[in-house]
Amino acid sequence: MKARTIVIICSLVLLTGVQACAQNKRPGDEILGDWFGESKCTGNNPSCHDEIVVYHFTRTKSDAAKIHLAADKVINGKPELMGEFDFVYDAEKKTLTTDFKIPRTGGKGVWLFNVNGDKIDGTLTVFPENEIGRRVKVERKKPE
């Protein structure tokens, strides 16, 4: 009887712990981490260059509902920070979006990423032209 009681208590403790972990997960947690791939130029922009990229997704410090991206390009095998953005994640559509002012032109840019498991495809749309300026394809880093 004593052994059975211990098994029941241990099972309840384990079940409670699993439920607590599941309740602490937030939409977008599956995106957090490092992603690797490429960012390719589209359209007619001679100052644009194709890049190998590393994206680091984390929660924002100021708004835990948003997801922060620190984007590196790889130059001579070393990461170099390109920029940082805070994204809104739509769990239903599985999209990340953000908009920002383009200092060089005074226009606006909108990043839209579509999350599909361990792959993200995205575009940068440039306004007022309403043209796609970049296409991004990244994948989650696999443990080595």
Mean pLDDT of 37-58: 93
Domain annotation covers residue 7 = no
Contact by Cβ (8 Å): 99, 109: yes
Is the confidence at residue 82, as pLDDT, over 80? yes
- The number of distinct structural domains making up the chain is 1
60 within a domain of the structure (yes/no): yes
Asked if residue 58 belongs to a domain, the reply is: yes
Q: Is residue 17 part of a domain?
A: no
Residue 19: pLDDT band with limits 50, 70, 90: very low
Judge whether 15 lies within some domain. Answer: no
- pLDDT recorded at residue 64: 73
Is 78 a member of any domain?
Answer: yes
Distance set, CA 94 to CA 8, 24, 44, 118, 124 (Å): 39, 19, 30, 12, 17
Q: Name the residue range of residue 55's domain.
A: 27-140
Is 3 part of a structural domain of the chain?
no
- Residue 132 in any domain: the answer is yes
How many beta carbons lie within 10 A of that of residue 85, not counting itself? 18
CATH number of residue 136's parent domain: 2.40.128.20
Distance from first CA to last CA of the chain, Å, rounded?
47
The residue with greater pLDDT, 13 or 75, is 75
Comparing 6 with 74, the larger pLDDT belongs to 74
- The pLDDT score that the predictor gives to residue 2 is 64
Is the pLDDT confidence value at 5 over 70?
no
pLDDT of residue 93: 96
87-143 pLDDT, tens digit each: 999 999 999 999 999 887 888 999 999 999 999 999 999 999 999 999 999 999 765
